[in-house]
Amino acid sequence: MRRHPPLAALHAFEAAARHDSFQRAGDELHLSAGAVAHQVKQLEAWLGMSLFQRMPRGVALNAAGRRYAEALRPILNELADVSEAARKQGDEKVVTVSATQSFATRWLMPRLGSLRDRHPQIDLRVLASTHPADFARDGVDVAIRLGTGPYPGLLVDPMLEERFFAVCSPHFAAAKDGVTKPGDLLRYTLLHDEWEVRIPRETDWVQWLQSFGVAYAANVGAKFSHTYLTLEAAASGQGIAVVPARCARALSLSPVARARCAAAGAGVLRLGAGRSGAWGVRQGAIGVS
């Protein structure tokens, strides 16, 4: 059997080649520039040759890279077309929804029974993913993501407005005194999401505290690769996390800032249009909202 290069690395290379930039490719793919560079290095190692010229201020395709990019682009487009055609030949009753794990677990799953009652003719498939959905490649009908938009070429409906709380376990909250304003939280252990896929202007401790006029630049504290892990750490009394209200309610976490920081707008950063919120991305006439 012939060996094939890693598909994720091919997509990262194609985007980097098109933009002449790891940073802009990362913005498109919702990856860090470092993650794109790592994928490109994987591909270069697989091929046994360099594709980019690394310069002090960015990168540029070398001659081999230009030839490879020109040959690769139509192959990826054809693969997307063939995959989409094959997907459409499948069971038309199946609707595939892609959502982040925490959103699918805490918000979507409790509502699936109601959806089945209202639309018994639909068979639903739920995929947990934080990566941008490629509707042609991944066979996804609906993608639900936290983000600010815009999403060119897609039909986008806002689903709900997120509210982010500083939360901890009730036991942790009971043991901590002297929290009267958001800045007081800096005295305690802060828990951080550290996803590989970054969301533009996503709500983290830096943004949350800055919204109350508290300067905070360094993400000091425990770091986790997924919101679900951050929630579990907060629930077990490891520290304080900034999370969406829907997630906090599901684990009975105590909104410390809401309870003790009334002078600072109840400790809630309310996000609306132009800021991080939950969005449903819909293609065609099929949507879940």
How far apart are the C-alpha atoms of 43 and 20, rounded to whole Å?
16
Neighbouring-strand partners of residue 280: 144, 157
Q: How many residues does the chain have?
A: 289
Parallel, antiparallel or unpaired: strands 190-193 and 222-224: parallel
DSSP state of 178: -
User: Which residues, including other chains, have CB under 8 Å from residue 21's CB and lie 6 or more apart?
Assistant: 58, 59
Tokens of 176: 């901590």
Query: pLDDT value at position 64?
Result: 93
Beta strands (DSSP E) in the chain are 52-55, 58-61, 94-99, 123-128, 142-147, 155-160, 163-167, 190-193, 222-224, 240-244, 268-270, 277-282
The closest of 113, 143, 111, 150 to 128, measured between CA atoms, is 143
Note the Cα 168 to chain centre separation in Å.
Answer: 23
How far apart are the C-alpha atoms of 284 and 103, rounded to whole Å?
23
Query: pLDDT value at position 148?
Result: 67
For residues 88 and 132, the answer to whether their CB atoms sit within 8 Å is no
How far apart are the C-alpha atoms of 145 and 149, rounded to whole Å?
10
What residues in the chain have per-residue pLDDT under 70?
1, 87-92, 136-137, 148-149, 173-178, 195-202, 218-219, 245-289
Query: pLDDT value at position 274?
Result: 27
CA 22 → CA 11, 62, 263, distances in Å? 12, 15, 43
Buried-exposed string 64-96: b where 16+ CB fall within 10 A, e elsewhere: ebeebbeebeeeeeeeeeeeeeebeeeeeeebb
Tokens of 181: 């304003």
Q: CB neighbours (10 Å) of residue 212? A: 18
Query: pLDDT value at position 45?
Result: 93
